[in-house]
Amino acid sequence: MGKLEILAPAGGMDSVYSAVRTGADAIYIGAQQFSARASAHNFDKEQLKEVVRYCHLNGTAVHLACNTIVHDDEISHAMQLVEYACEIGIDALIMQDTGLISLTRKSAPDMPIHGSTQLSVHTAAGVENLAKLGLTRVVLSRELSKNEILEIAKRSPVELEVFVHGALCMSVSGQCYFSAMLGSRSGNRGACAQPCRLPFSVKDGTGHDLSLKDLSVIEHLRELEEMGIASAKIEGRMKRPEYVAAAVAACRQSLDEGKVSPELSEKLKAVFSRSGFTDGYYEGKTGVSMFGVRSKEGAADSKVFGSIHEMYKNERRHIPVDFSLTVKDGEASTLTVSDNSGNVFTATGAVPEKAIKTALDSQRCEKSIAKTGGTPFVFHRLECTIDSGLSMPASALNAMRSECLNGLGEMRKQIRPIAFEMCERAETDTRRNRTPKNYRVRFTDCDISDEFLDSELIYVPITANDKQLIELMDRGFAIAVEIPRGMFRLEQMIYRHLKRVQALGINEVLANNVGAVEMAKSLGMEIHGGFGLNLANTEALKWAERQGITDTEVSFELTLEQIAKLGGNLPVGIISVGRLPLMLTRNCPAQNDGKGCKHCAEPPTIRDRKGIKFPIQCYGACTEILNSVPLTLADRKSEIRGVDFEVIRFSTENSAQKSETLHLFKQGLTPKNGHTRGLYYRGVE
């Protein structure tokens, strides 16, 4: 069992200091581009180098977040950032985009890559998939319970990282399109506007039914360490340094002493919380008790901030150093210092004099040499070789000690580059001349009329029973089963369903998650990629092709123009009709009575502050919040280029509505009761 790393956020230099000085083993930061916290201060190139030097002096690792989805015209810039990260000796990169991961793995094979929580990994199969891609660590979804984390840890071939404190998104990370759809600010590109924190109401709800309390499982760090988790991650690159200090200090105390003092717990709560904290997901208890909002009454005052600031105003002395002093008659004295990382530095001092009164001894020497204040070093031991009858002033010993500690510090701060050689990217023709020849339909049930028989493929729930599936096949439908985007605790059940449908003669799946892809691959099934894979550039499409994916939906955050310019050989499709999913959540906002899922007879809705209704629908282990109006490109077919197929995505529609939707799609007409063009024309930040 390895030591649990405390990983702290840093959005600016003050937060770097506060994290390091309160005991963080590692920090994660963002550059000025490609960071999933674009609103944080972040760091320019010179600042990044300074962060690395300071942290490495203190024995703290630096992880750089390059964890956004990138577009084709940004790939070169993103790889330049990767190259610079290698140049300055960043310890690891945190990444989401599978295309960027693939290029980085080829260009910098020795650079550790950590799979971002934005990859939505919540199954052992998902971890296994990313391990095969060459990742050294995976950041798990925040919605996992401790038992689910343990089961994944038992099977994981790589390190695992778990969020232990900080803001909790309503949506599974990487599966939220709310901010993008409502204001073109994409959470997958670091520009989330946090619309979930605004008033949204379900019947008998709290009035803020998309706003969760902050997560905190700091009390369980030793339990996570025993599970074999490698890293305990604190959220908060946009928070002030006092927040970082309080969270790191609490984690340090919990890990070292087994509990957090009441005083520190109160400071942590005061510096930032939303109606307190929740460990609901970790304990497997979802429901209304997890919801909360930020209030002014709960904010810390200047006295609290001042007391926290005291915790990190000075360097943390924690790196043990050993000294060796040699004082010989007629020779220049020497002092050598060494640390626990193999660094050794020697300073040469004055030639000793004959002692007139008191001769130099090891006790006097240690008194001077043990003073390491103002540095991250702490005196461990001193070995002395001193000829008898000699004398040396304390100032000479102090000078050698200072030179030794400065020299050792510079050695520790020395940049150690990682090899990087930009891999070649084959230019591929765009798909501009392709137009969609076929359509597919995604259903949430098996209520499917024969008017859909001309579709090239239908997606039906993996839970559809044998009788329903056989009937559909007998009627002539080509079928693929949809693996749920949310597979929490369902992995083994999904495997059983996949084997069951294979036995019926169905060998195709719709997969929206790297874990779902891995499951289907292990059974030799044909895989159709879904929008949840967030494929938004040519290199990501090439990754999908290498995964054995037959064809895929691309991200609906791309514009039609961007889609037309995608390269690669993999056939692609777009969702062109239907309500787009805005969120995927494990905590259904309609489940507000504390009694679990109510198996709603009719789809519930959630209203925003303007009274606009958003349907809610469950599938698998999660709930989708759907857009208030359906998307349609039915009347814009001539503007769709570079696409091989279109997808009609049904969710809450009844039989008559399905029939009407198909009629409008084929006739090139728009719905009478309102519609959206999605992001296909306006795009995202």
Q: Give 423-453 pLDDT, tens digit per residue.
A: 888 766 677 788 898 999 999 999 999 999 9
Rounded Cα distance between 79 and 107, Å, is 9
Q: Give 208-247 pLDDT, tens digit per residue.
A: 999 999 999 999 999 999 999 999 999 999 899 999 999 9
Q: Span 5-168+212-312: which CATH code?
A: 3.20.20.70
Helices 362-369 and 394-413 meet at what angle, rounded to 10?
50
Q: Give 11-20 pLDDT, tens digit per residue.
A: 999 999 999 9
How confident is the model over 284-307, as a mean pLDDT? 80
Q: Give 53-81 pLDDT, tens digit per residue.
A: 999 999 999 999 999 999 999 999 999 99
Hey, what amino acid is at 129?
Answer: N
| Token pair 């499982």: residue | 217
Rounded Cα distance between 403 and 200, Å, is 61
CB atoms within 10 A of CB 463: 15
Rounded Cα distance between 340 and 333, Å, is 24
How confident is the model over 584-593, as a mean pLDDT? 86
Q: Which has the closest alpha carbon to 529: 519, 546, 517?
A: 517
What does the pLDDT read at residue 293? Answer: 87
- Token pair for residue 91? 């310890």
- Token pair for residue 314? 């000075």
Q: Give 464-482 pLDDT, tens digit per residue.
A: 999 999 999 999 999 999 9
What does the pLDDT read at residue 425? Answer: 81
- pTM of the predicted structure, to 2 decimals: 0.95
Q: Which has the closest alpha carbon to 630: 668, 677, 662?
A: 677
CA separation, residue 475 to residues 359, 414, 441, 444, 511 (Å):
103, 70, 16, 18, 25
Task: Output 680 or 304, whichever has higher pLDDT.
Answer: 680
What does the pLDDT read at residue 598? Answer: 59
CATH topology of 5-168+212-312 equal to that of 438-579+628-667?
yes
CA separation, residue 470 to residues 144, 500, 528 (Å):
35, 12, 21
How confident is the model over 407-419, as a mean pLDDT? 97
What does the pLDDT read at residue 446? Answer: 97
Rounded Cα distance between 659 and 653, Å, is 9
CA separation, residue 310 to residues 36, 170, 241, 263, 316 (Å):
30, 34, 12, 14, 12
Q: Give 331-373 pLDDT, tens digit per residue.
A: 999 999 999 999 999 999 999 999 988 899 999 999 999 999 9
Task: Output 589 or 39, whichever has higher pLDDT.
Answer: 589
Q: Which CATH class is domain 438-579+628-667?
A: alpha beta
What does the pLDDT read at residue 536? Answer: 98
Among 263-267, 386-390, 601-605, 613-617, which is the least confidently predicted range? 601-605
Q: Which has the closest alpha carbon to 203: 635, 589, 626, 464?
A: 589
Strands (E), 316-435: 319-327, 334-338, 344-348, 353-354, 377-386, 390-391
Helix (H, G, I), strand (E, B) or coil at 475: coil
Rounded Cα distance between 2 and 455, Å, is 53
Q: Give 237-285 as a DSSP string.
A: TTS-HHHHHHHHHHHHHHHHHSS--HHHHHHHHHHS-SSSEE-HHHHT-
Q: Are 140 and 160 in contact (CB under 8 A)?
A: yes
What does the pLDDT read at residue 134? Answer: 97
What does the pLDDT read at residue 623? Answer: 95
What does the pLDDT read at residue 304? Answer: 83
How confident is the model over 586-591, as a mean pLDDT? 91
Q: Which has the closest alpha carbon to 27: 11, 43, 3?
A: 11
Query: What is the domain partition of the chain in residue ranges?
Result: 5-168+212-312, 319-413, 438-579+628-667
Rounded Cα distance between 386 and 372, Å, is 22
% pLDDT > 90, the chain: 87
pLDDT band at 683 (very low <50, low <70, confident <90, very high): very high
CA separation, residue 264 to residues 223, 259, 281 (Å):
20, 10, 23
Rounded Cα distance between 16 and 34, Å, is 20
Among 371-385, 421-435, 558-572, 589-603, which is the least confidently predicted range? 589-603
pLDDT at 42 over 90: no
pLDDT band at 456 (very low <50, low <70, confident <90, very high): very high
Helix (H, G, I), strand (E, B) or coil at 341: coil
How confident is the model over 534-561, as a mean pLDDT? 97
Indicate the Cα dihedral angle 579, 581, 586, 589, nearest 10°.
-60
Burial class (CB in 10 A: 0-12, 13-18, 19+), 400: buried
pLDDT at 593 over 70: no
Rounded Cα distance between 34 and 267, Å, is 33
Rounded Cα distance between 62 and 499, Å, is 44
Q: Mean pLDDT in the chain?
A: 94
Q: How far is CA 473 from the centre of its chain?
A: 40
| Token pair 């709603």: residue | 600
Rounded Cα distance between 440 and 421, Å, is 42
| Token pair 């690669």: residue | 568
Among 17-21, 300-304, 526-530, which is the least confidently predicted range? 300-304
pLDDT band at 668 (very low <50, low <70, confident <90, very high): very high
What does the pLDDT read at residue 637? Answer: 95
Helix (H, G, I), strand (E, B) or coil at 90: coil
How confident is the model over 603-614, as a mean pLDDT? 93
What does the pLDDT read at residue 273? Answer: 72
